[in-house]
Amino acid sequence: MTDLTVDTTPIPGLLVVRMPLHGDARGWFKENWQREKMVALGLPDFGPVQNNISFNASRGATRGIHTEPWDKFVSLATGRIFGAWVDMREGESFGTTFHLEVDPSVAVFVPRGVGNSYQALEDGTAYTYLVNDHWRPGVAYPALNLRDETADIPWPIPLDEAEISEKDLANPGLGDVTPMAPKKTLVLGAGGQLGQALVAAFPGSEGVTRAELDVTDADAVEAWPWHEYAVVLNAAAYTAVDAAETPEGRRAAWAANATAPATLSRLAREHGFTLVHYSSEYVFDGTAEDHVEDEPLSPLGVYAQTKAAGDLAVALAPRHYLLRTSWVIGEGHNFVRTMQSLADKGVSPSVVADQVGRLTFTSELVRATRHLLESGAEHGTYHVSNDGAAMSWAEVAQAVFERSGRSAGDVAPISTDAYAAGVLEKGNPFAPRPLRSAMSLDKLRATGFEPEDALTALERYLGASERP
């Protein structure tokens, strides 16, 4: 009896699992799939949804080389097999091979896009395999000829003596195989500031607007091919904080900020993709000096309440990154561009001075997103913003004015109450704001990410070095 181990192979992601057999005169018992132990040893938490058994009546029965579009965990119930695997995915490892004799004490995790073939070495051999997507009729995927000279697989039983299907005999050679492309990245809300930045930063990603895919539309959701995606980046949101206080805005905010994330969380569980969702510091009431990830939610207004509801829903997705951010600045209409325009026009505005937080440039939010995904950081909630001392909106405006050739004194500070009174006097809605929006970045830093100072990013954003 050996300890449970998980070993790597020359094919990236193809893992060999060696497991103890507990036996006596009656036979043996094994923990064929033990999620907690195996994941702790490095096996992906791949979420199997179907279990299949392949029975091979006679020694020499040979199946493959098939390259299914799902992950697969293969093990023996009885008998022995010779297993051969060929990497059929796009990339440098395309064509890499590995082979191994497998008995009931050995299992193999086969990642999507790796061709697999099995030759029975004993009569009455049965192997079982878990997969993380349901088999569907008509699904096409690459296959490789068992005799391919490039793969050069050393079959223990010569193929001339083996039992092989006509279909497998007709499979093409490696030179004629179209490599399997990786699953795609989907960006929801691609027309917004953050969505545009995400599409640009993830080459080959598919960006859609609400007009192209409305996640609150059940029919549209049902028709969308969610199984084609490895990552879904949800940058779609209702962000009209004050309008959310109106009857129409309240309904729209709940649909976009709560219902849609709940749907995406369910889809992530069903289809196995990683869900990245962007939230807001508005889920807190602004009484803490620096908000931490596990601070109890305490939203003030309707917009804030809908974002908090979305947070709770997304946290139920098995593989999720919930990124809370603040004061987002990207391409298009935003506070910094407005202040720059006012400075250029000679206007001297009054700006709120008692709301304090940190700017988050979309370039920083995108950089953090890539880092978390590529580093394999633990799933969960992370606070993301630029670094540096927390500043008020008035101080941000003054920094913009100074970098636009104006005096900081041209920006007059005003309180939130005074600003709200002016808005309400005009008959417009006004939502309560958290006065402290700064968030702790310690958890993000612990993953190896170093946030950039907000003023450094502001200099670059404004192109201050190019001004006379």
Residues 426 and 307 in one domain: yes
Is the per-residue pLDDT at 24 higher than 70? yes
Write the pLDDT tens digit of every residue in 296-323.
Answer: 999 999 999 999 999 999 999 999 999 9
280 plus 139 within the same structural domain: no
pLDDT confidence band for 43 (50 / 70 / 90): very high
Let me know if 129 is a catalytic residue: yes
Predicted local distance difference test score (pLDDT) of residue 135: 78
What letter does residue 77 receive in the DSSP assignment?
E
Contacts of 218 (CB under 8 A, 6+ apart): none
- Whether 78 has a pLDDT exceeding 50, the answer reads yes
Higher-confidence position of 227 and 281: 281
Q: Which pair of structure tokens corresponds to residue 463?
A: 């192109």
Question: How many residues in total does the chain contain?
Answer: 468
Closest CA to 310 of 235, 370, 385: 235
Domain boundary among 142, 176, 210: 176
Are 220 and 150 found together in one domain? no
Residue 118 designated active-site: no
Token pair of 362 as six digits: 């979309």
- 467, pLDDT greater than 70: no
CATH code (residue 119): 2.60.120.10
Choose the weakest-confidence range: 137-146, 382-391, 454-463.
137-146
Nearest to 372 by CA among 389, 384, 388: 384
Mean pLDDT of 378-406: 96
User: Which of 192, 267, 241, 210 minimizes the C-alpha distance to 428?
Assistant: 241
Catalytic choice (66, 99, 277, 320): 66
Domain boundary among 155, 176, 197: 176
| Confidence at residue 196, expressed as pLDDT on a 0 to 100 scale | 95
Instruction: Point out the catalytic residue in the list 99, 118, 127, 129.
Output: 129
**pLDDT given for residue 464 in this prediction:** 42
Q: Check whether residue 200 and residue 337 sit in a common domain.
A: yes
Answer yes or no: do 148 and 194 share one domain. no
Kindly report, residue by residue over 79-116, the tens digit of the pLDDT: 999 999 999 999 999 999 999 999 999 999 999 999 99
Q: How much is the average pLDDT of 430-448?
A: 96
Instruction: Tally the domains of the chain.
Output: 2
* 329 and 361 Cβ atoms separated by less than 8 Å: yes
The beta strands (E) that lie in 209-326 are given as 229-234, 274-280, 320-325
Buried b (16+ CB within 10 A) or exposed e, 148-176: beebebebebebeebbbeeebeebeebee
Question: Which of 176, 193, 209 is at the close of a domain?
Answer: 176
Residue pLDDT, tens place only, 106-145: 999 999 999 999 999 999 999 999 998 887 777 778 899 9
Can you give the CATH number for the domain in which 240 is found?
3.40.50.720
* pLDDT the model gives residue 332: 83
Q: Are residues 98 and 172 in the same domain?
A: yes
Residue type present at position 406: R
Closest CA to 261 of 223, 221, 234, 230: 234
Non-local CB neighbours of 231 within 8 Å, separated by 6+ positions: 183, 185, 186, 273, 274, 276, 373
Structural domain span for residue 297: 184-466
Structure tokens at 93: 């490892």
The token pair that represents 183 in the structure block: 């699953």
If asked whether residues 376 and 422 sit together in one domain, one would say yes
Average pLDDT over residues 233-242: 96
Tell me the pLDDT of the chain averaged across its residues: 94
Tell me: do 191 and 248 sit in the same domain.
yes
pLDDT of amino acid 142: 87
Q: Cα(5)–Cα(375) distance, rounded to whole angstroms?
A: 23
